[in-house]
Structure 1
């Protein structure tokens, strides 16, 4: 038995009735419905299709340079990634690297050896200096507040991607993709 699909075309006047209606007069206070700026920014990031401009130097430093807690702390990744708000649209990163070096020391990697990269990135640069760092690997969770990470302490050569910074007129590291451990 064939099923018959019925399509209904909405007439234009009826569709116009569905548009939001603006009431005349002062019926409510707009400030009562104002979102907290952090909440508003979170929703904008969640709904966005991606970054419209490269991250700032300050945000890069915040995300990939060691914070207040020593790298050896067994709960380092869980604390730092939450404090640094490292996530993609509220979802946990499967892996993230943080290094125990100054930003100036890490930025030298942008002028290091060109190496093969992973994750569909064309090429990366490998630091010429051994740097101590931690690899945070997602152990469980999917959303930002439930991310549980495992710490892997390592000493190696950070493999980074870099971006051009108009302010300083130089290449700066924007993400650590891996750390090459010496044999």
Structure 2
């Protein structure tokens, strides 16, 4: 007559092992949980990073900035939204990331009640200012596009993993006509 150890050694071995943990590897930048949170509008927003700022704000010089459909097209191409909702206002800047990054090292100024501290460029930068005209959720968003050239106001923040201050968002611009198209945050 055998004991349980002699009769079922493989079964006992499985009992002693830790349970397997499966990890889903995807090609996207979001985990399944993050993707689901973004779809239903819950959960925290992702912290801005150097790469996100480059992807959503910096533009190249191949396309004319005076194109009236610039914003509607680029907002979709660059996937610029807030939890899949249309962004009310947005700026695309035609400058290198290094030039924009250097603004974070300029003297800071007060930008108002909602954004207390921001930094301004020392030279004029070309940009496209986008203002939402219709739509609520992504793919239905339509924008007016206006070419701007002026001094850019941005916010900056510390990115811990690369240990440097990075541009976070464009707050507005001061153009030569005195127009200050600061976005109204809600």
Normalising by structure 2, report the TM-score: 0.70
| Aligned residue in 1 for 2:36 | 43
Superimposed CA distance per residue, residues 12-66 of structure 1 (whole angstroms, 9 cap, x where no aligned partner): xxxxxxxxxxxxxxxxxxxxxxxx96795543223333325x2221111001101
What's the counterpart of residue 143 of structure 1?
137
User: 1:80-122 CA distances to partner (integer Å, 9 max, x unpaired)?
Assistant: 1001111111111110001000000111111223222247222
1:69 and 1:118 mapped to 2: Cα distance? 33
Contact 2:81 2:138 in 1 (8 A): yes
Match of 2:69 in 1: 75
- The answer on whether the counterparts of 1:98 and 1:135 sit within 8 Å (CA) in structure 2 is yes
- Is the 8 Å Cα contact of residues 113 and 128 (structure 1) preserved in structure 2? no
Counterparts of 2:113 and 2:45, CA distance in 1:
18
SS in 2 for 1:111: coil
Partner of 2:139, secondary structure, is helix
Instruction: Provide the secondary structure at the position in 1 that maps to 2:36.
Output: helix
Q: Distance in 2 between matches of 1:160 and 1:171?
A: 12
1:88 and 1:177 map into 2 onto residues whose CA distance is: 16
How far is the alpha carbon of 1:168 from its aligned partner?
A: 4.2
Summarize the Cα distance change of 1:110–1:39 in structure 2 as closer, same or farther, 3 Å threshold. Answer: closer
TM-score by length of 1: 0.71
Return the match for 1:63 from 53, 56, 64. Answer: 56
For structure 2, list consecutive stretches of 5 or more residues without a partner in the other structure: 1-26, 178-186
Matched residue count: 148
CA distance in 2, matches of 1:58, 1:86: 13
Partner in structure 2 of residue 169 of structure 1: 163
Gaps of 5+ in 1: 1-35
